[in-house]
Amino acid sequence: MAGNSNSGRRQQPEELARLKGTLPPPSRRKQGSGLTSGTKLTMRMQCAHVVGYDTLNERSRKIYLSACSQAMALRLLEPADLVQLIIYAKEFDNYLTCDADIRKNGRYRLKYDDEGKVSGTIDNPSCFQKKVSWDIVKNISANFGFSPYDRQRLKAEVNPEDPTTKIVNIIMSGGDNGPEDQ
C-alpha cells in the first residue's frame, strides 16, 4: 500500500491537537481562512469572508468595509447583499480612479490625424466611465440607505437601546427625538 494517498498518518483536527497540546506552531500550520468548523460567523466576519473579497484592492476594501458598517448600523445588511456591496466598492473605486485621471489629464484629449497632426479634441474616456460607475454606485447605494433621502425612504427598523442606532434614529427623524423634546 506504499505510495497511495491513504498511507501515512491521518491528520487530526486542530481542536483536538490544541486540547492535546500537540498543535504545531503557526509557521507549520496550513494557512486557511482562519475559520474552523463550528465557528459562529458574525456579520462582520461574513463581510470579510464573502466570495470576491479577495479581488478587492486596498481602497476598495476600505470602501466595502465602510459600506458594510453603515448597512449593519441601519440593520439593512443580509448575507445575500454582500456580493452587491463588493460590486458597489469596486465601482466606487473605479469612479475615484476615473476622477483622478480626469484631474491629471484633463477632460479633453488631443485627436491626431494619420499624419500625426492635431486635428481636434475628444472627450477623455474616463469621463464616460466615471458616469457609468457613478450610476451603478447610485443605484446600489439607494438599496442600502447611503443617502439621507434613502434612509428616510427605507425607514430602517433599529434597536433603540443601541447608541449607534439612536443617532441613526435622530438623523432619520429629521433631528427631533419626538414629543419629549418639545
Q: Map out the domains of the chain as residue ranges.
A: 40-163
Count CB-CB contacts under 10 A for residue 140.
Answer: 19
Q: Spell out the per-residue pLDDT of the chain, length 182, in tens.
A: 455 555 667 777 777 777 777 776 665 555 554 545 444 556 677 777 788 888 899 999 999 988 888 888 777 778 888 889 999 999 999 999 999 999 999 999 888 898 989 889 999 999 999 999 999 999 998 888 888 877 777 764 444 566 666 666 666 666 555 445 44
Q: Could you give the dihedral angle defined by the CA atoms of residues 24, 30, 32 and 37, in that order, rounded to the nearest 10 degrees?
A: -60
Distance from C-alpha of 123 to C-alpha of 111, rounded to nearest angstrom = 10
Query: Which residues neighbour 76 within 8 Å (Cβ) at sequence distance 6 or greater?
Result: 144, 145, 154, 156
Cell of 175: 433631528
